Amino acid sequence: MSGASWDVVGIGENSVDVVYQLTAPLMLHGKMPVANRRTLPGGQVATTLCTCSALGLSSRYFGTFGDDDHAQLIRGALEAHGVDTHSALVRQAPNRHAVILVDEGTGDRTVLWQRDPALALRAADVPPDLLAGARLLHVDAIDEAASLAAASAARRAGLHVTTDIDRVTERTAALIAAATLPILAEQVPAALTGESDPERALRALRQRHGGMLCVTLGARGAMLLDGDRLHHVSGFSVNAIDTTGAGDVFRGALIYALLRGDPPDLMLRFANAAAAVSCTRPGAIGGVPTLPEVEALERAEGGEGGS
């Protein structure tokens, strides 16, 4: 699928996740037993790029690593998945990490994270040639100035721009406007528009953005507004053991389907299937599926995989 130097360039978060699997739902008070503890690579953009790479796209990561063992772990995981990290920066600080509490029964998780201020990425840190030969830029909302600068450059170069936006700040509207396909967490359209219904919220956002708009809905699947036509594809039913990174895998699979030229409904179906497969395994990057695995789930649920 690659006629360019890089199919996808991603700018944003990487992380090491210390995952505790709980034998009962999380309690705010008291003591709880832990079934097991794992230290696993993850992070929003890192997981999305690993997904892109596993599906067959060439991927490049730009962001900041620390200088500790966690940094070596996550960088090694990216490179093991074929993601290029040569342009990434190294700072004298602990790498970003998170403690993730996973309900053994449902796979639902609570994330507690920490990031040293020294890891912040500035707009001036983005190399002017970072996007040379790329087809698509994917950014998150962690270091918004850097994401906005890169997205603006990508739009001027005629690239696709996708996002991972899971919070609302004073720069969220600008980041959405800079994207060709904003991909938003469920709470974001509601917070921006005051509409609790996802469809009404997307239609309200249509007044501010003329391109495709996508919102993830967890186990309920995802919606995508293309012009005036709304596409809603339900999630796949699987035995979930860990939902960590499912939204990031969804984004990577949606990017793959977009660059493959799929129509919106099949883009959503493919991305939902990839996210569902990821939920059957522990960890974020650990849950990244291959193309045959995604296609197999699509066929099992009555759809057709492949291009």
Residue 114 in any domain: the answer is no
- C-alpha–C-alpha distance, residues 244 and 246, integer Å: 6
pLDDT interval class at 225 (50, 70, 90)? very high
Q: What pLDDT shows up at residue 240? A: 84
More confident of the two residues 157 and 306: 157
Q: Is residue 54 part of a domain?
A: yes
- Which residues contact residue 255 at a Cβ distance below 8 angstroms, ignoring those fewer than 6 apart? 8, 48, 52, 57, 136, 138, 162
Burial 203-227 (b: 16+ CB within 10 A, else e): bbbeeebebbbbbbbebebbbbbbe
DSSP character string of 194-261: S--SHHHHHHHHTTT--S-EEEE-GGG-EEEEETTEEEEEPPPP---S--TTHHHHHHHHHHHHHHHT
Strand partners, 216: 222
Provide the pLDDT for residue 2. Answer: 41
Please answer whether residues 280 and 240 qualify as being in contact, where contact means their C-beta atoms are separated by less than 8 angstroms: yes
Task: Give the residues across from 10 on adjacent strands.
Answer: 61, 138
Does a structural domain hold residue 102?
Answer: no
Q: Which of 67, 46, 111, 36 is nearest to 286 (CA)?
A: 46
Task: Report angle CA 236, 44, 242 to the nearest 5 degrees.
Answer: 45
Asked if the structure places residue 233 within a domain, the reply is yes
2-23 per-position pLDDT tens digit? 444 899 999 999 999 898 888 8
Per the structure, how many domains does the chain have? 1
Q: What angle do CA 135, 286, 291 make, to 5 degrees?
A: 50
Q: Is 89 within the bounds of a domain?
A: yes
Mean pLDDT of 257-282: 96
Q: Which range marks the domain in which residue 283 is found?
A: 6-13+42-96+121-300
Please report whether residue 185 resides in a domain: yes
CATH number, domain containing residue 211: 3.40.1190.20
Name the pLDDT band for 304 (thresholds 50, 70, 90).
Answer: very low
Q: Which residues contact 306 (CB under 8 A, 6 or more apart)?
A: 295
Does pLDDT of 195 surpass 50?
A: yes
pLDDT for 69 beyond 50: yes
Find, among 88, 90, 74, the residue nearest to 10 by Cα.
Answer: 88
- Greater model confidence, 305 or 113: 113
Token pair of 141, please? 């909302």
Query: How would you classify the pairing of strands 222-226 and 89-90?
Result: unpaired
25 pLDDT above the threshold of 50: yes
Residue 20 included in any domain? no
Residue 58 falls inside a structural domain: yes
Record the pTM: 0.92
Lowest mean pLDDT, pick from 102-106, 205-209, 257-261, 300-304? 300-304
CA atoms within 13 A on the CB side of 142: 25
CB 202 within 8 A of CB 188: no
